[in-house]
A and B are shown apart, each in its own frame.
Chain A
Amino acid sequence: GKEKASQLQADGSAFDPTAYAEHLLTFMGLNRLEDEDSDGEGPSGGYLPQDAWQRLGNKVQGCFRTAPSFHFMLGSFLAEPPAPRQRVE
Chain B
Amino acid sequence: SSQVQRGLERLTPAQVDRKGHKVKPVVSGSLLIFRWQKLVQFILIKDQKKVPIKRADIVRHVVKEYRNIYPEIMKRVTRTFEQVFGLNLVEIDIAHSRITCEHHLKQNINKLETESKRKPGELASMSLGDHRTGLLFVILSIIFMKGGVVKESVVWNTLRKLRVEPGEKHEDFGDVKKLVTEEFVRQKNLEYVRIPHTDPVEYEFRWGLRAETEVSKLKMLQL
Residue of B with least CB distance to A76: B45
Residues of B within 8 A of A57 (CB): 128-134, 137
Minimum C-beta distance from A54 to chain B (A): 5
Question: Is B138 within 8 A of A24, CB to CB?
Answer: yes
Question: Is B223 within 8 A of A43, CB to CB?
Answer: no
Question: Is B161 within 8 A of A17, CB to CB?
Answer: yes
Question: Is B50 within 8 A of A66, CB to CB?
Answer: yes
Question: Count of chain B residues with Cβ under 8 Å from any Cβ of A?
Answer: 52
Question: Is A43 within 8 A of B114, CB to CB?
Answer: no
Among A24, A44, A63, the residue within 8 A (CB) of B216 is A63
Minimum C-beta distance from A4 to chain B (A): 6
Question: Is B113 within 8 A of A54, CB to CB?
Answer: no
Interface check A18, CB cutoff 8 A: yes
Minimum C-beta distance from A19 to chain B (A): 10
Residues of A within 8 A of B214 (CB): 64-66
Residues of A within 8 A of B219 (CB): 62-63
Interface check A41, CB cutoff 8 A: yes
Interface check A42, CB cutoff 8 A: yes
Interface check A73, CB cutoff 8 A: no
Among A12, A18, A70, A71, the residue within 8 A (CB) of B147 is A12
Closest 10 CB pairs of A and B: A61-B129, A57-B129, A56-B134, A67-B112, A12-B147, A53-B131, A21-B161, A57-B134, A57-B133, A17-B158
Interface residues of B (CB under 8 A from A): 44-45, 47-48, 50, 85, 87-88, 111-116, 120-121, 124, 127-135, 137-138, 141-142, 145-147, 154, 157-158, 160-163, 171-173, 213-216, 219-223
Q: List 29 A-B contacts (CB under 8 A).
A: A1-B221, A1-B222, A4-B221, A15-B145, A17-B157, A20-B145, A21-B158, A21-B162, A24-B162, A41-B163, A54-B134, A55-B134, A56-B131, A57-B128, A57-B131, A57-B132, A61-B128, A63-B137, A63-B215, A63-B216, A64-B133, A64-B216, A65-B113, A65-B116, A67-B47, A68-B127, A69-B48, A70-B44, A70-B48
